[in-house]
Amino acid sequence: MERKTIYLCLAHMSEEGLEQKYIKEAFDTNWVVPLGPNVNGFEKDLEEFVGENKHVVALSAGTAAVHLALIGCGIGPGDEVCVQSFTFCASSHPVKYLGATPVFIDSEPDTWNMDPQLLEQAILDRKAKTGKYPKAIIPVALYGMPYRIDEIMAIGNKYGIPVIEDAAEGFGSRYKGRVLGTFGQYGVLSFNGNKMITTSGGGALICENEEQKDKIMWYATQAREAYPYYQHEEVGYNYRMSNICAGIGRGQMSIVNDHIHHHQHVQARYAELLKDIPGIHLHEAPNADFDANYWLCTITIDPKVRIKGQENAYKEIIKSAVGGAAGVIHQVDSPTTDCQPNDNVEALRLFMLERKVEARPVWKPMHKQPVYAGCPAYVNGVSEALFKVGMCLPAGPMVSDEDLEYIVQCIKEAIC
């Protein structure tokens, strides 16, 4: 029998079929718009899950949540925002939407997330160079790993800079027992099809209080004034989640803890299965304070390790989207760039792909992306070094213990 493809992380519906129940109710009652009982119910479920008396707005995407959080912090043209460099572009692109400038902060080696010491250096240097402090700080829970939020919040409070937590990959991760996204002024969540839970697409913004929630919801529904006709005094956005998507989310909330426990189980199994393979290192939490959801499990490969097919790495130009990067892509003239994973990583990716296992490089640091050439960056070499040797392994709800044994066996077979 032909082996199935093992993907990095795919959504998994609840066995009770609650998603279909809520979707059917939406159609039966004709609530198929970006409003309705499922949206209200999903927001309530999220508020109960994150706790801390927070308020949540369900939105069309995690990127929309970042955008609206920046608006909530008053970000505009000419402002600067400190953003973790080691992340997906959705953390930084909304800064550019608003005509502001991202200031990229490199990572510290334990969590791979924003380095607090480098953050403070950057804040003081931007003040010296521009005469004003950055207007917000965006740490990211990379692959679900909590950031050093105590230190980051202390720095934000010291200089009066609000913190927007990008917990898109860290839904359900906790720091010292507290859910990520509840420490800062805003917390960003994502429910994309490959996240811990999904609404097929979608996201949410965690707000400190009801006043903030009302403001965000107003911007998310085109910023209408209270008249019997359409009056707009500010630019708004069509960012609310649909009642149908929220129905999927309500069903997913019934299994969210199962998903988190599964990912943590996968991490533990990888730790056991990989421990005796020389040169392969699993990234793990620094200590018990960092309760990661392990959305994706990540490894680094020592440069001295030789992977079969290494000599063929980067020989062919990619002609279609890779994995979760599905969609329209630009064709390129060269298979290489000036900053890319080493030949080991690319050879292992191709080796695993031939065996129907999806594995991918870690995120390319934003300060090395051509679109951000010229933006201020405060770097220590950590994220660039990890990008050269890092790889993501499958960890989703559909990945079984048998799959994990197969994945690790493939890694062993790939090493010369």
What is the reported pLDDT for 17?
81
What whole-number percentage of the chain has pLDDT above 90? Answer: 87
- Domain holding 80, by residue range, is 18-255
Give per-residue pLDDT as tens, 176-188: 999 999 999 999 9
Among 255, 283, 304, where does a domain finish? Answer: 255
283 compared with 330, residue with greater pLDDT: 283
Beta carbons within 8 Å of 331's beta carbon, 6+ residues apart: 317, 319
- 255, 282, 312 - which closes a domain: 255
Same domain, 121 and 96: yes
Report, as an integer, the average pLDDT of 84-101.
Answer: 98
pLDDT value of residue 246 = 95
- The model's pTM is 0.95
Whether 305 and 244 map to the same domain: the answer is no
In a domain, 12, yes or no: no
Is the domain of 152 the same as that of 128?
A: yes
Please check the confidence at residue 89 and state whether its pLDDT lies above 60.
yes
294 and 211 in a single domain? The answer is: no
Claim to verify: residue 208 and residue 183 sit in the same structural domain:
yes
Mean pLDDT of 272-298: 98
Last residue of some domain: 255, 284, 312?
255
Measured in whole angstroms, the distance separating CA 287 from the mean position of its chain's CA atoms is 21
> pLDDT tens digits for 354-404?
999 999 999 999 999 999 999 999 999 999 999 999 999 999 999 999 999
Identify the sign of the CA torsion 332, 337, 340, 342: positive
Quick check: 112 pLDDT over 70? yes
Q: For 38-48, how does the pLDDT look when each residue is reduced to its tens digit (9 = 90+)?
A: 999 999 999 99
3-state secondary structure labels for all residues of 312-338: HCCCCCCCCCCHHHCCCCCCCCCCCCC
Residues 245 and 381 occupy one common structural domain: no
How many C-alpha atoms does 230 have within 13 Å on its Cβ side?
Answer: 5
Residues 240 and 370 in one domain: no
pLDDT band at 49 (very low <50, low <70, confident <90, very high): very high
| Residue 357, pLDDT score | 97
Distances in whole angstroms, Cα of residue 268 to Cα of each of 2, 285, 362? 28, 11, 20
181 and 291 both lie in a single domain = no
229 and 291 belong to one structural domain? no
The helix (run of H) or strand (run of E) holding residue 383 is: helix 382-389
Residue 35 has pLDDT above 90, yes or no: no
β-strand 280-282 against 360-361: which pairing, if any? unpaired
The CATH number assigned to the domain holding 99 equals 3.40.640.10
